[in-house]
Amino acid sequence: MIKNQERTMLKAISLGLIDNILIFGNSQLSTQLLKSLSRHGIPVFYFSSKGEFLFSMDSFKEADYEKQREQAQASFDKSFCLKMSKRIASAKIMNQLNLLKAYDEQGLFDEEDFKRFKSACESLESAKSISEIMGIEGRIAKSYFYYLNLLVEEDFQFYSRNRSPSLDRFNALLNFGYSILYSCFIGLIRKNGLSAGFGVTHQPHTHHAVLASDLMEEWRPVIVDDTVMSLIKHGDIRGGAF
C-alpha cells in the first residue's frame, strides 16, 4: 500500500506484479514491507536524490546456482560470447537508426546519412573479436549522438556524450535513465536465478553487473533515449528545470 503523509492510502499494488523497487532521496519503506519484499525475492535499489546508485537490498532467494554454473561456463565460451555480442550490437544499432527516423519529422536526414548504420550491421557479421564489435558500436554511437543532437531543441543540445559528471541537460537525463535501466535489469537477472557478474560483451570486474550492462544495450534507444526525446518534444521537461 502507498500512503501519503496523512496516512491516507493512495494505491494498493500486488507484490506479484512487482519485479523490483527503486527508492530515490529520503523516501522510506516500512520494515513490514521490506520483509515481504524479501520473502518474495523482490530487490530494492536505493539512489540519491540526484540519481546516484547507493546500494541494494536482496534476499538472494531466487538464486539458482545450477543455472549460474552453466552461465559461468557460457561466459568463457568465446564463440558463444561473440555470437551473442553481435546480436546485441546489431539490435542496438538498428534501434538507434529507427529512433532517428522516428524523430526526424522535418526530413533533415536522407538514406545517405543512414547508410553507415546499415553498413555497421553488415560489418558486425564478419567481426572476429569482441573488441572489434565494440569498436564498430563505438563509431556508430558517435554518429548517432551527433544526429540526435540535431533533433533536440536548443536548451537540450549537447556537444558529445558524457557520463559522470553530466556536463549538460541532455546527458543528465540520459545518465539518470540509464542508471534506472541498469538497476531494473539487475533485478530481472536475479529474479531469474542468474548472476549479474557473468556477461558476454563487457569484461567482468568488481562491483560491475556486466550481464545487466550487456542486456540493457539494445534497450537504451528504445526505452531511455525515446523517453527523453518524447519528454523534450512534448514540453514535459524544460531547460529551466535544471
Examine the domain organization and report whether 216 and 125 are in the same domain: yes
Say yes or no: 80 and 194 in one domain.
yes
- Looking at the structure, tell me whether residues 99 and 213 fall in a common domain: yes
- Say if residue 165 is preceded by a cis peptide, omega within 30 of 0: yes
Q: How many helices (H) and strands (E) does the chain have?
A: 9, 5
Q: Are residues 218 and 107 in the same domain?
A: yes
Are 86 and 110 within one domain?
A: yes
- Binding residues for Mn(2+), as ranges, are 137, 202, 217
Residues 70 and 41 in one domain: no
The answer on 146 and 33 residing in a single domain is no
Q: Is 100 within the bounds of a domain?
A: yes
Other CB atoms within 10 A of residue 7 CB: 6
- Tell me which residue has cell 561466459: 75
Q: 212 to each of 21, 24, 120, 188, how far by Cα in Å?
A: 16, 20, 24, 9
Residue 188 forms part of a structural domain? yes
pLDDT at site 163: 86
Question: Does residue 130 sit within a domain?
Answer: yes
- Provide the number of structural domains found in the chain: 2
Looking at 8, 28, 57, the residue that finishes a domain is 57
Please answer whether residues 183 and 15 qualify as being in contact, where contact means their C-beta atoms are separated by less than 8 angstroms: no
Kindly state the cell numbers that stand for 68: 549460474
pLDDT tens per residue, the chain (242 residues)? 676 677 787 788 888 888 888 888 888 888 998 999 888 888 888 888 877 778 888 776 678 899 999 999 999 999 999 999 999 999 999 999 999 999 999 999 998 889 999 999 999 999 999 999 999 999 999 999 999 999 999 999 998 999 878 899 999 999 999 999 998 899 889 888 899 999 999 988 878 899 999 999 999 999 999 999 999 999 999 887 78
Report CA-CA distances (Å) from 5 to 1, 8, 9, 31, 49: 13, 7, 10, 17, 19
- Residue 54 contacts residue 27 (beta carbons within 8 Å): no
**Under 8 Å between Cβ of 199 and 75:** yes
Q: Write down the pLDDT at residue 122.
A: 96
Q: How far apart are CA 43 and CA 64, in angstroms?
A: 16
Residue type, 138: G
Residue 11 lies in a domain: no
Q: Are residues 51 and 103 in the same domain?
A: no
- Is 25 a member of any domain? yes
pLDDT of residue 164: 78
100 shares its domain with 214: yes
Does residue 5 fall inside a structural domain? no
- Give the separation between CA 161 and CA 168, rounded to whole angstroms: 9
CATH number at 75 reads 1.20.120.920
* Cβ-contact 216, 89 below 8 angstroms: no
Return the ∠ at Cα 113 (arms to 236 and 107), rounded to 5°.
50
Q: Are residues 146 and 237 located together in one domain of the fold?
A: yes
- Residue 4 falls inside a structural domain: no
Same domain, 21 and 77: no
For residue 48, give the CATH number of its domain.
3.100.10.20
Beta strand 2-3 with 53-57 is unpaired
In terms of domains, do 108 and 201 share one?
yes
Q: Which domain holds residue 161?
A: 65-241
Which residues fall in the annotated binding site? Answer: 137, 202, 217
User: Which cell numbers in the block locate residue 115?
Assistant: 547508410
Indicate whether 2 belongs to any domain: no
